[in-house]
Amino acid sequence: MSVLLQISDAHFGTEQASVVEALVALSQQQRPDVLVLSGDITQRARASEFHAARALVNRLGKPVLAIPGNHDIPLFNLGSRLLHPYARHCEAFGDELEPVHTSPELLVLCINTTRWYRHKNGEVSPAQIERVSKRLASAEPGQLRVVVVHHPVAVLRAVDVQNLLRGHAAALQLWAAAGADLVLGGHIHLPYVIALPDLARPMWAVQAGTAVSSRVRDGVPNSVNLLRWGSDAPAGRCLIERWDYTAASQAFVRTAVTDVQPARTGTPADVD
């Protein structure tokens, strides 16, 4: 069994206590094997915000892969932004800014798409693209191959095109050819799953909403994603579940399931 819980754009500093407690309850109920924090963990990269985020992770009690988002770099302290942009992130989550998780059923490769010289937008470098491609190419056949970034590689709305990850087109071509199945992202606080077109093999973009922050957008509630693979899903298929927070129940409730079939296991499918 392999269950991955994606938590994105928590923006600690703007978190809602009732939603945090509901997320703890969801994790206790679903018992994920690994947690992925796909950036914007804090609102303003303050020490107190990182401490609160770390406290939540400690309560969830699972291995965590955490990458920074643009909000996790100091905005107003220019000296820290230039010289030590990730100091507080590393203090809370360790020195590895691009962590990797590997198990018989999962390969999760994280990429730091933030840059100290960019206020909001992200980018992926040729070196990062190549490194991830090489690691994907060495994956075991039974592993679901997941790449994690903060900035989206595909968007649904014209207004969000400006938020696309710089370098995403080249990255997607090479990662698909190397065997990637899913690319997880956040940043725009909108949850959806998109089948990515015109690639060497099927691959999907999986976007998460804001997990616990009051900074919800367009009436979309707080949400997280659960990915199921292996013995916890139909043979050869990955179930991507969206869980939304509902104020009425003060709990996260499963609201959508996307069923995808990686190419190596047969004909791809994408059914909501």
Lowest mean pLDDT among 80-84, 242-246, 256-260: 80-84
Percent of the chain with pLDDT over 70: 96
- Residue 120 pLDDT more than 70? yes
pLDDT in tens, 125-156: 999 999 999 999 999 999 999 999 999 999 99
Check pLDDT > 70 for residue 36.
yes
Residue 24, pLDDT above cutoff 70:
yes
HEC states along the chain? CEEEEEECCCCECCECHHHHHHHHHHHHHHCCCEEEEECCCECCCCHHHHHHHHHHHHHHCCCEEEECCHHHCCCCCHHHHHHCCCHHHHHHHCCCCCCEEECCCEEEEECCCCCCCCCCCCECCHHHHHHHHHHHHCCCCCCEEEEECCCCCCCCCHHHHHHCCECHHHHHHHHHHHCCCEEEECCCCCCEEEECCCCCCCCEEEECCCCCECCCCCCCCCEEEEEEEHHHCCCCCEEEEEEEEECCCCEEEEEEEEEECCHHHCCCCEEC
pLDDT score for 265:
46
Pick the CATH number of 2-271 from 3.90.550.10, 3.60.21.10, 3.30.470.10, 3.40.50.720: 3.60.21.10
The whole-number pLDDT of residue 165 equals: 98
Work out the average pLDDT over 9-22.
98
The pLDDT assigned to 80 comes to 78
- pLDDT tops 70 at residue 270: no
- Whether pLDDT at 84 is above 90: no
Model pLDDT, residue 78? 72
> Which region among 30-34, 45-49, 185-189, 228-232 has the lowest average model confidence (pLDDT)?
228-232
Mean pLDDT, residues 21-43: 97
pLDDT at 1: 60
Select the more confidently predicted residue: 244 or 74.
244
Residue 272 in this model has a pLDDT that exceeds 80: no
The pLDDT of residue 134 is 98
pLDDT at 268 over 60: no
Residues 154-167 pLDDT 10s: 999 999 999 999 99
pLDDT of 69 over the 90 cut = yes
pTM for this model (two decimals)? 0.94
Give the domain ranges of the chain. Answer: 2-271
The model's pLDDT over 183-222, given as tens digits with 9 standing for 90+, comes to 999 999 999 999 999 999 999 999 999 999 999 998 899 9
